[in-house]
Amino acid sequence: MRDIMRIVEAAPLQNAKATQLQALIRGVKAGKLLVHVRVNDGTDFKWGIQPSAGDFLRSTESWQWAEEEHGEGPELTFFADDFGWVTSTSLGDQVRKQAIFVRKNDSIVQYVGEDKVKTASGAVIRYTQSEIADYDNPNFRDVPAGVEPGDWFTNVAQDVLAVIEVPTLIAALTGQPIARP
């Protein structure tokens, strides 16, 4: 794992003995990092987190329509700029989940609605002006199927800063003991 303290320099730590986990939490809260939650399936993130179409994305009507129209649906990775996704039980049992932290950058955008996205720098632009738009690929000419307002998403592999087990992260966020199976 890289030196997380340098990554979140814009959110300086008050205590020099703060852990890397606390630095990651501060990085998300400061708007410098994003988090992705997934089931721990043994994936090695040495080459980053790769966009894919998981079960949840494939279950959306818009993704299924894109697959019928274009022969395939978009491959995406979704991220959050807070910890609501981490603490939610809507994705099932949290004990087997991991939180993957990445640096916010211009290849990840947030859909704000009305065909507009917000970039990592906070600029709101038309989707077609973003780095993710691709006129040669019908899945990325317009906002990709399955993307909803508020979603941070990308179709580009992202370098992984850290992978933390969700129970450990929840314990750090809440001050509660780590939940074990």
pLDDT tens digits for 134-172?
Answer: 989 898 899 998 899 999 999 999 999 999 988 889 888
Q: Which residue has the higher pLDDT, 1 or 19?
A: 19
Residues 153 and 150: their CA atoms lie apart, in Å, by 10
End-to-end CA distance of the chain: 26
Asked if 114 contacts 106 with a C-beta cutoff of 8 angstroms, the reply is no
pLDDT tens digits for 37-90?
Answer: 988 888 888 888 988 867 777 778 888 888 898 888 888 999 999 999 888 766
Asked if 154 contacts 165 with a C-beta cutoff of 8 angstroms, the reply is no
Residues 45 and 144: their CA atoms lie apart, in Å, by 25
CB atoms within 10 A of CB 139: 20
Where are any strands of DSSP class E within the chain? 33-39, 77-79, 97-103, 109-113, 116-118, 124-126, 152-154, 162-165
